[in-house]
Amino acid sequence: MKNRIAELDYLKAVFILLMIVFHLAYIGDKYPYAKSLVYTFHMPAFLIISGYVMNIAKGVRPFLRSMGWIFVPYAVMETGYVVMSALLPVRESVDHLTVSLWLDKLFLHPLGPYWYLHTLMLCGLTYLGVDKFLGRWNQTVSVWILLALCYAVLSVLGVLSLVNALYFMAGAVLKRTEVDFRSFFTPSFWAVVPVVWLACDEANLNKGTLSGVAMTYLVVSLLLAVFRHLPERIKHPMNYIGSHTFILLVFSPVFTMAVKPLVKVFAFDATGMMFLLVSLFICVLGSFGIAWCLDRLHLSRFFWGKSRML
C-alpha cells in the first residue's frame, strides 16, 4: 500500500459510492436532477484516474495478464447479469437469451453496469497496441493522435464510447507527460462557486460537452481541497474503499438489485435518505463480504488471479 496515492484512493472511494447510490433505481428516479449532476462528473473522473494509473510500461505479458484478470470477473458477472435480465423484470431486459446475444453483450455491447470494465479493458489494450505499434517512432504526439483515431474507429463501430475513451486518454496523457495529478487538479474550495453556477443550468449536465469537462475538473479540485481537512478516522476507511473499488464495481450490482424490497420498508421516509443509507451500507458490506468469502475458500486465485483480494 506504500506506493499508493492517498488522494487518488479517496477520490475513487467518493466516485464509487456515488455510483452505487445512483444505481439504486429508487434514488435515481426520486432525484433525477441530482443523478444527472453526478453522472456528469463521477465516471469521467473515474476514467481519468484509470488512465493515469494504467501502467503499460511493465511489459506486454504482465499487462495482458492484468487485463485477463479483469476479464475473468467481468465475464462471470456480465454473464450473470445477462441471464438475470432475461429472467427478471428489469429495465434492461432481454427477450430471448441466445449464445449469440450473450457473446455480443460480453465482447461488444455489455449490458448493465459492467460497461466500465469493458471500456477499461478496451482502452487499455488499444493504448498498449498503439504504443507497441509505433515502436522506435513512439513520440508523444504520435501516440495521442493515433490512439484518438483508434478510439474514434471503435466508437464508429459501436463498441466504445468516444467520450469515455477520451477521458481515459486524458489521464494517460497526464501520466505520460509526468504531470502530477494533484498539481494538475489544483485543490481549491473556490471551485464550489463555478460548480454551483454550472449546475444551475441542466444544459451543462453533459459529460460530452465543455461544461461537462469543466464540471469534472472543478469537482475533483473541490474534493482534493476537502481531503486536506478530513480527519484520519474518515480518510482511513475512505482510502481502504478506494483501494478496493474493483470489488465494489464487480459485486455491488448484485446488492443494488437485492435491496429493492427495502423501498417498501422505508416508505415512511419521504426523502428516501433512510433507504439510501441502509442500502449503501448493505451494498458495500455485502460486496466486501463476498470478496472475504472468496479469500477464505481459497477461490480468489481463480476469480481475481491472486491468493487474497482483501
**Which pLDDT tens digit goes with each residue over 172-205?**
999 988 889 999 999 999 999 999 999 999 999 9
Cell output for 310? 482483501
Q: How many other C-beta atoms lie within 10 A of the C-beta of residue 84? A: 17
| Per-residue pLDDT, 95 | 75
* Burial of residue 259 (number of CB atoms within 10 Å: 0-12, 13-18, 19+): buried
**Which pLDDT tens digit goes with each residue over 11-22?**
999 999 999 999
pLDDT at 308 exceeding the cut of 80: yes
**Which pLDDT tens digit goes with each residue over 107-138?**
999 988 899 999 999 999 999 999 888 876 66
| Per-residue pLDDT, 98 | 87
The chain-wide mean pLDDT, for the chain, equals: 93
**Which pLDDT tens digit goes with each residue over 39-50?**
999 999 999 999
Same domain, 64 and 162: yes
| Per-residue pLDDT, 117 | 97
Q: Is 221 helix (H, G, I), strand (E, B) or coil?
A: helix
pLDDT at 1 exceeding the cut of 60: no
Q: Are the beta carbons of 146 and 134 closer than 8 angstroms?
A: yes
Same domain, 258 and 189: no
Same domain, 271 and 202: no
**Which pLDDT tens digit goes with each residue over 147-156?**
999 999 999 9
pLDDT at 2 exceeding the cut of 60: no
| Per-residue pLDDT, 90 | 64
| Per-residue pLDDT, 176 | 87
Mean pLDDT of all residues in 147-173: 96
| Per-residue pLDDT, 136 | 61
Same domain, 183 and 301: no
Q: Which domain holds residue 49?
A: 31-227
pLDDT at 75 exceeding the cut of 90: yes
In angstroms, the CA 248 to CA 289 distance is 11
Terminal Cα distance for the chain, rounded: 12
What interhelical angle do 99-107 and 60-87 show, nearest 10? 130
| CB burial string 205-227: b at 16+ within 10 A, e below | bbbeeebbbbbbbbbbbbbbbeb
Given 194, 227, 260, which residue is the final one in a domain? 227
In angstroms, the CA 223 to CA 182 distance is 11
Same domain, 136 and 40: yes
Same domain, 252 and 179: no
Helices (H), the chain: 6-23, 25-30, 32-53, 60-87, 99-107, 115-134, 140-156, 162-176, 181-184, 192-199, 210-227, 232-242, 245-258, 262-265, 273-296, 300-303
pLDDT at 87 exceeding the cut of 80: no
| Per-residue pLDDT, 239 | 95
Same domain, 176 and 241: no
91: confidence class by pLDDT, cuts 50, 70, 90: low
Residue 7 belongs to a domain: no
Cell output for 40? 456528469
Cell output for 300? 480468489
Mean pLDDT of all residues in 84-93: 72
| Per-residue pLDDT, 86 | 77
Eight-state DSSP code of residue 109: S
Same domain, 118 and 257: no
| Per-residue pLDDT, 137 | 62
Alpha carbon dihedral 135, 140, 146, 147, in 10-degree steps, equals: 100
| Per-residue pLDDT, 178 | 85
